[in-house]
Structure 1
Amino acid sequence: MKKYIMVISAGANVIKATIYDEQFNIISKDSEKFTQYTPSSYRVEHDAMEIYEKSIDVCKHAIAAAGIGAKEIISLGITNQRSTCLVWDKTTGLPLERAITWQDSRTNSKCREINESPWGEKARKAMGWKVSPAYSSLSLNWYINNVPIIKEKIEAGDALFGTIDTWLIWKLTGGKKHVVSYSNASSMGSFQLRKEEWYTEFLQTLGITTDIYPQVVNDSGDFGVVLAEIFGREIAIGSDIADQQAALFAVECNQRGICKIMNQAVSIIDIYIGNECIISDYGLNTVIAWNINGKTEYALEGFDSETGSALQWLEEGISIISDSLESEIIAKEVEDTGGVYFVPALTGISVPYHDCMTRGTIFGINRGTTRAHLVRATLEGIVYRLKDILDVVEKDTWIKIDEIRVVGTDSKNDLLAQMMADILNAQVDRPYLVEADSFSAAQLAGLAAGIWTFEDFKGALKIEKSFFPELSEEVRLARYAGWCEAINRTLGWNENLFQKETTES
């Protein structure tokens, strides 16, 4: 009987299911978008039940499309958007409020308060992240202080807390496993990296008890089994790895001078640093890359949460592209942006500015500006943000990044990849497997099931296309100088509006 691995990828706005055979080939996949709730300009929420139900749907569709039975799937892997979290009733199995996503900035005032106190630096050095709205612990603090039923359920011992991976595993196993992987735990703003335990002292200052937190376990191993009633047969869950760390693993970025950049709903740069936990002094995050067989390895990371959302806004907000890949076709209608700069900070800007009050802005519009100029400026804005972050990575590590491996849905855009090579002045390689997070989750699930060993992964990565710098240094520097001017004019743009909204709420 043939053996297959199935993976659930719970992204920022899409749920995917992918089925792999023993030769790492994708034999079927399915996906569905889920609802983005934005009750205010600084809130972004998800319906966790919708995410769970659509996860089941896409898995069933992928199994049907593959023409196989559940008995042939010997392991299930999970990879997920990080930091998005929720609280649920452990008796009814229902969420007590919508999930607060990593793009949400409602806890900005609380973050400022902490960062201005001794706890700001203490927390950063212990957990590897500057205290920010992406902290799941800050979202939990908000739940406790603003949703009475959540506070009541926690005090009564009737509630559980977790990120989306924890939620899916708990639901799939019928509540038998309340766990989170090391890679995901390190992104929650709750976990001491060097001690590898929940930061109880910090959480107590937020009025949080770790009783509702999941158990931290290896990224590859035993996560329980999916209830037989869901797919018609029990399926072992063999992996749970955060999406960015998963992509880093899959594209074999395990040596100095090579980094991974994911471009889709978010742009994230990760550079593997091995088994030494280095805390950045330049605003980067330190994460646990993965823990396999009890061995913890680390990565430094910089991210921009709005670059992919900018393309989504072009599609859904102002309807000038039909999908993200059409941006390449339209942008090629012009040779340059015509002097237009688009700062894609729709809900704030991260490294190295860390300003939640920045908002998306467009500079340089004139009578000759067309939609092609705006689309091209959006793509360039994504790349300029990558350069902002990559410059910090190089300062922090003293490593010149000469080779970049790009993954994510927007990596299929040749023009974007060439812009990256030009502005970042590096070779850009696009593997055949651009959705690398799913592939890694499959690899780790296969390891747990005994299908594969690490030796089987050697040579699995194939490069589809490479891009090389074509711009002169003079042009590169001049264009980036214009970008820096645009950024400086944008910082703090939404400060007064945010204060007014939070006061009224």
Structure 2
Amino acid sequence: MNQDYILAIDQSTSATKSLIVDRVGRIVAKSSAEHTQYYPQAGWVEHDPMEIYANVKKTAQQALMQAGIEADRLAALTVTNQRETAVMWDSSTGQPVYNAIVWQCQRTADNCAALRTAGHESSVQAKSGLMLDPYFSAAKWGWMLEQVEGVRQKLAEGKLLAGTIDSWLVWKLTGGAVHATDYTNASRTSLFNIHSLGWDEQLCELFGVPIQLLPEVRSSDDVFGYTGDPELFAARVPISGIIGDSQAALYGQLCYEPGMAKATYGTGTSVLMNVGEKPAVSGNGLVTAIAWGMGGKVAYALEAVIRTSGDSIKWVRDNLGLFGSFDEMERLLEQAPDNEGVYMVPAFVGLGAPYWDPYARAAITGMNRGTGKAHIIRAALESIAYQVRDAVKLMERESGVRLKELRTDGGASDNGLLMQFQADLLEREVMKSEISELSALGSVYMGGLGVGFWSSIDEIAASHKLYRMYTPAMAAAQRDRLCEGWERAVASVLGTGPGCREAEHGAQPAANG
């Protein structure tokens, strides 16, 4: 039987997708299912890991049916996932001990602030590449160990495991046979030493997370194991191409060389720049990340994390009810070709790079009696581009590398108005991939190379589709005026906040609260 397909699981913040990809990188089938977002308290965000895994099985089976193939035609199953979201489960029952605590969740902000006050941030950042922030996984696991009833007993009995979403899925997919993660996901936990490439005992002790709970760390292109859940399908399919979604998109964007960068516009936005085989010294709101591991070697990246981008559009639609469909949104935007001084700072769960203020809260500024819903929608959309520009300018300053172009993907990148506005603010070409599922394809490319489905990166690049280019066209005076307005809006939220111009000229970002 010819194994001419790969099944990709793309597990994101809002939904789970399964895609069937053929040898020329073409998506031949796709199925998707959203999962419930839980908000038990203000600033808290949770997911049900069992619901997520049920959606993995459901969408995988639907994608196979849609493609008209059986699982024995699969050369591999790959996984790309929302990063930093923390899961803890009972290895004897296969049940989570608590809901997954999502990367957006702010419940551990005070814990992180206490560690920072105690002087631990420099050592955490030196080892992990990350600042002390509730965004990352370690404090979330620490919270579960302290707050969830019965967890300490399971720990004493040796029944407790911890991991990010990828390792949870690998464990479930292999029928509990494999507890492993990859370098990219491990590097987003605050417990992984990105220099020695191993879990750090001192970091684990600092966050109160026993090292024995954590998964084995492997290269993204390793074969992690084989499917072993009979409810999924009967065939034993190799599992490879395990990689966090932002790094997967960087790989899927063919950003293989230092200085190449991409932005994935999702619920939040990750701006990632490949910096090569040695980690760049970061600071001022940037984090040093592992871009990927292949063949036991790693490439590094600088990353700027924007907490809320596409989610601000969803908030305007769902919470304010200002539009019902994206077609309606486009029509309304035509009614307001200028923001008329209205800005949205979407700090619903704090602000990420370059501010890193988990206590900041959202605001709409500059409204007058003539402000209509079209202006608010435009302000929400434009807030995405302002935040990306802030992040890019900071990355350029910290790395000393001038961005040549920004390659973009993710749901909001389909909006031509946003992409043109992004090019105008950056004064750079924005290359929007015609491929809509770059995180999934990045994991497919990685896993496909791991199992020999493709022979080389060059073979993959030869079949990669073209980009749509957006060229800067805005007058400098208009750009300056708009950025000054954004600067004032951010300052109103932070108290003292760097805006576009300050980020460009070297202002220090706000510390974590």
SS in structure 2 at match of 1:450: coil
8 Å CA contact 1:340, 1:362 repeated in 2? yes
Give the 3-state SS of the residue equivalent to 1:372 in structure 2: helix
Q: Structure 2 CA distance, aligned partners of 1:226 and 1:59?
A: 12
Partner of 2:356: 354
Aligned pairs, number: 493
Correspondence for 1:14: 15
| Aligned CA distance change for structure 1 residues 85 and 325 (closer, same or farther; 3 Å) | farther
**Deviation (angstroms), 1:108:** 0.5
What amino acid does structure 1 have at the position aligned with 2:437?
E
Task: Kindly report which structure 2 residues correspond to 1:82-481, keeping only aligned pairs within 5 A, or say none.
Answer: 82-227=83-228, 229=230, 230-323=232-325, 326-454=328-456, 455-481=458-484
Provide the TM-score with structure 2 as the length reference: 0.94
Contact residue 239 and residue 448 of structure 1 kept, 8 A: yes
Displacement after TM superposition at 1:228 (Å): 5.7
Identity rate, percent: 32
Q: Distance between the aligned counterparts of 1:464 and 1:151, measured in 2? A: 52
Query: What letter is aligned with 2:387?
Result: R
For 2:510, the equivalent position in structure 1 comes to none
Task: Note the C-alpha offset of 1:171.
Answer: 0.4
State the distance in 1 between where 2:259 and 2:278 align: 17
2:180–2:224 CA contact under 8 A, matched in 1: yes
Q: State how far apart, in whole Å, the 1-side matches of 2:405 and 2:190 are.
A: 30
> Do the aligned residues in 2 keep the contact of 1:4 with 1:21 (CA within 8 Å)?
yes
Cα distance in 2, alignment partners of residues 96 and 83 from structure 1: 17
> Matches of 1:59 and 1:356 in 2, distance apart?
36
Query: Match of 1:484?
Result: 487
Is the partner of 2:87 in helix, strand or coil? strand
Q: Unmatched 5+ residue regions in structure 1? A: 494-505
Instruction: Give how far 1:41 is off.
Output: 1.3
Alignment correspondent of 1:503? none
AA of the residue aligned to 2:367 = I
Tell me the equivalent position of 1:59.
Answer: 60
User: Is the 2:25–2:460 Cα contact (8 Å) retained in structure 1?
Assistant: no
Distance 2:328 2:102 in 1: 27
Q: Secondary structure at the match of 1:444?
A: helix
Provide the residue aligned with 2:79 in structure 1: 78
In structure 2, how many angstroms separate the alpha carbons of the residues matched to 1:254 and 1:115?
A: 35
My pick for the range that moved more, 401-410 or 251-260, is 251-260
State the AA in 2 paired with 1:436.
Answer: L
Shift of 1:396: 0.6
Contact 1:340 1:373 (8 Å CA) reproduced: yes
Q: Report deviation, 1:232.
A: 2.5
Whole-Å Cα distance in 1 between the matches of residues 181 and 400 of structure 2? 33
Distance 2:467 2:57 in 1: 32
Compared with structure 1, are the counterparts of its residues 471 and 257 closer, same or farther at alpha carbon in structure 2 (3 Å cutoff)? farther
Comparing 329-338 with 81-90, greater Cα deviation is found at 329-338
- Structure 1 SS opposite 2:421: helix
- Report how far residue 148 of structure 1 moved: 2.5
Say if 2:223 and 2:451, in contact at 8 Å, map to a contact too.
no
Cα distance per residue 1:94-127 (max 9 Å; x no partner): 0000010100011101111111223211111110
SS of equivalent residue, structure 1 residue 378: helix
- Check the 8 A contact 1:277/1:286 in 2, yes or no: yes
Deviations 1:171-197 (A, max 9, x none): 010100000001110011110000111
Of stretches 251-260 and 16-25 in structure 1, the one that deviates more from structure 2 is 251-260
The alignment partner of 1:24 has SS state of: coil
* Deviation of 1:492 (Å): 6.4
Q: Measure how far apart 1:434 and its partner are.
A: 2.7
SS at structure 1 position matched to 2:40: strand
Aligned residue for 1:458, secondary structure, equals helix
Looking at structure 2, the residues matched to 408 and 11 of structure 1 have their Cα atoms a distance apart, in angstroms, of 11
Task: Give the structure-1-normalised TM-score.
Answer: 0.95
Question: Any conservation in 2 of the 1:431–1:464 contact (CA below 8 Å)?
Answer: yes
How far did 1:40 drift?
A: 1.1
Q: Is the 8 A contact 1:260 1:270 kept in 2?
A: yes
Q: CA deviation at 1:56?
A: 0.5
More moved, 202-211 vs 84-93? 202-211
**Contiguous gaps of at least 5 residues in structure 2:** 497-513
In structure 2, distance between residues paired with 1:22 and 1:461: 12
Specify the code of the residue in structure 1 equivalent to 2:158.
Answer: G
